Chain A
Amino acid sequence: MITLDTIMQGILLGGLYALFAAGLSLVFGIMRLVNLAHGDLIVLAAYLILVIASVLGLHPFLAVLVAAPVMFAVGWLLQTHVLNRVLGDDLLPPLLVTFGLSVVIQNALLEGFSANSQKLAAGTVETQSLQIGSLMVGVMPLLTLATAAIVIFALNRLFYTTALGRAFRATSDDAVTARLMGIRPNRIFAIATGLALVVASIAAVYLGMRANFDPSIGPARLLYAFEAVIIGGLGSLWGTLAGGIVIGLAQTMGAAVNPEWQILTGHIAFVLVLLIRPRGLFPRAND
């Protein structure tokens, strides 16, 4: 039966999905670009962390500090040299390019690391748990949710209290007028994709410590992320956290009834939210 424990597990799982989705939400919010390679970029970041951790002998939490700036650079270069060329009124070219990128990343990882499953070894923290009231809560899932909340809080602060955030929002509203204000949209987009891949690196470290990963799992992560973004309301960061939690809750509740239903109930929840609130739970007023 669905117990308090199941609900808690669902909320905590939602933290991981929100981390998957935050980068996607950021990029969509600023440049209306649906990055179909987002899941694969998370997996790419997970392999990068794996390599850094094994070569330098670092704990994954330290390795991600090295991987994040590298992924920022990857995002910057990707946006500057590839995605900025295809952004425009037509939504199809960026979709096709990011779809192609997804295939390229998967095959490159397959070539480089084989199809064998990998895992980031986090040590004892993986199995530690805390007693909260009558519940035993895993430290790792708790850290994941806390990190998701911190990441989304930080992105919100960036968006609403800094000059860069102002430029993000202005460019998102009207890129032509933003240029008249001295803003260079292509540069703003490059920073945004760089930031999205920093967030993807943070998602990757939790993905890799929580479960096995291999080069083919990106598209499924993209699907959860995409559903979380849509449930939350396109472009709303706190909505994305809520969306992640909705999917996490639905999956754990489904699994509690019948373990085979876990993935299915997540997707059903997505469809139900779309039916009831087609613009998501927290849509932006001007979308």
Chain B
Amino acid sequence: MSGHFLEMRGLTAFYGDFEALFGIDLHLDAGETVAMIGANGAGKSTLMRALTGIVKIGSGEVALEGERIDHLDAPDILLKGIATVPEGRRLFPSLTVEENLLIGAHARKGDGPWNLQSLYELFPILHERRRSPGTALSGGQQQMVAIGRALMSNPRVLLCDEISLGLAPVVIKDIYAAVPRIKAVGTSILVVEQDIGQALKVADRVYCMAEGRITLEGRPDDLSRDAIHDAYFGVHA
């Protein structure tokens, strides 16, 4: 494998006999923010789940700084420094906001830029609501908790799966306002999005997926609207 920070090569994944990913090649450099766009059912979330060890990889390789991680279980992948904001937020209903954040640090070793105090500075509303059950918050606030929970492990790579899904545009803006601050501490970010506009705004590089394959890759400025449209809807030229 070459010298990319996180690299996937020829990744396949299956649900029973159904193949959901067909040989995905993707990379992420240190400190880079990459967006993965694609319509519903394109395989974006499966890719995330394969990366985090929730879905078993069929074939192919995943390497972090040259070290193979594709055989590892989810907790070990977190220990390697890859944290996830899962689709649908998936906060723990029995835990308060603060406990949801603390559980993110369950396996943390050593210090880093993110702790309760710095997260409350990033999302001040969470400090006010810290004693509330996580699931009693509004959708946007819950998304803040989910992002904060992932950051509590002080990851080197942050995977965000559909963080704008189901949120009002004004709330999405608030959520994405945090991305530059997360980038500023050197974290690489892979954002999976259906919202193309938001993805192009935030990303250094964009991939597009359709039907389990990468259909487009490039820098936002270099991609034409038509090319994105065709790639997004799986229209083959």
Q: Which residues of A contact B (CB under 8 A)?
A: 163, 166-167, 169-170, 172-174, 176-184, 284-286
B106 partner residues in chain A, CB cutoff 8 A:
163, 166-167, 181-183
Instruction: Tell yes or no: B171 within 8 A of A by CB.
Output: no
A179 touches B99 (CB 8 A): no
Question: Tally of A-B residue pairs with Cβ under 8 A?
Answer: 67
A178 partner residues in chain B, CB cutoff 8 A:
92, 103
A180 partner residues in chain B, CB cutoff 8 A:
52, 54, 74, 78, 83-84, 86
Q: Give A181 to B74 CA distance when docked, in angstroms.
A: 8
Q: Which listed residue (A163, A184, A285) contacts B75, Cβ 8 A?
A: A184
A163 partner residues in chain B, CB cutoff 8 A:
102, 106
Instruction: Tell yes or no: B73 within 8 A of A by CB.
Output: yes
Min CB distance A174 to B, Å, is: 6
Give 10 nearest A-B pairs by CB, closest first: A182-B107, A179-B74, A169-B94, A173-B92, A182-B78, A177-B90, A286-B93, A170-B92, A182-B75, A182-B106
Instruction: Tell yes or no: B149 within 8 A of A by CB.
Output: yes
A167 partner residues in chain B, CB cutoff 8 A:
103, 106
Instruction: Tell yes or no: B79 within 8 A of A by CB.
Output: yes
Instruction: Tell yes or no: B188 within 8 A of A by CB.
Output: no
The 15 listed contacts between A and B (C-beta, < 8 Å) are A169-B92, A169-B95, A176-B54, A178-B103, A179-B53, A180-B83, A180-B84, A181-B104, A181-B106, A183-B75, A183-B107, A184-B73, A284-B94, A285-B93, A286-B135
Q: Which residues of B contact A (CB under 8 A)?
A: 52-54, 73-75, 78-79, 83-84, 86, 90, 92-95, 99, 102-104, 106-108, 135, 149, 153
Q: Which listed residue (B78, B79, B95) contacts A173, Cβ 8 A?
A: B95
A170 touches B94 (CB 8 A): yes
Min CB distance B16 to A, Å, is: 15
Q: Give A167 to B103 CA distance when docked, in angstroms.
A: 7
B95 touches A170 (CB 8 A): yes
Nearest CB in chain A to that of B52: its residue: A180
Q: Give A285 to B75 CA distance when docked, in angstroms.
A: 28
Q: Give A180 to B83 CA distance when docked, in angstroms.
A: 7
Min CB distance A187 to B, Å, is: 9
Q: Give A172 to B99 CA distance when docked, in angstroms.
A: 14
Nearest CB in chain A to that of B146: its residue: A177
B86 touches A177 (CB 8 A): yes
Min CB distance A237 to B, Å, is: 13
Min CB distance A184 to B, Å, is: 5
Q: Give A110 to B139 CA distance when docked, in angstroms.
A: 58
Nearest CB in chain A to that of B104: its residue: A181
Nearest CB in chain A to that of B102: its residue: A166
A181 partner residues in chain B, CB cutoff 8 A:
78, 103-104, 106-107, 149, 153
- Among B53, B102, B106, the one with the most A-chain Cβ atoms within 10 Å of its Cβ is B106
Min CB distance B51 to A, Å, is: 11
A182 and B153 in contact (CB under 8 A), knowing A163-B106, A167-B103, A176-B54?
yes
Q: Give A218 to B149 CA distance when docked, in angstroms.
A: 44
Min CB distance A156 to B, Å, is: 13
A166 partner residues in chain B, CB cutoff 8 A:
95, 99, 102-103, 106
Q: Give A183 to B108 CA distance when docked, in angstroms.
A: 11
Q: Give A99 to B3 CA distance when docked, in angstroms.
A: 55
Min CB distance A107 to B, Å, is: 38
Nearest CB in chain B to that of A177: its residue: B90
Nearest CB in chain B to that of A180: its residue: B84
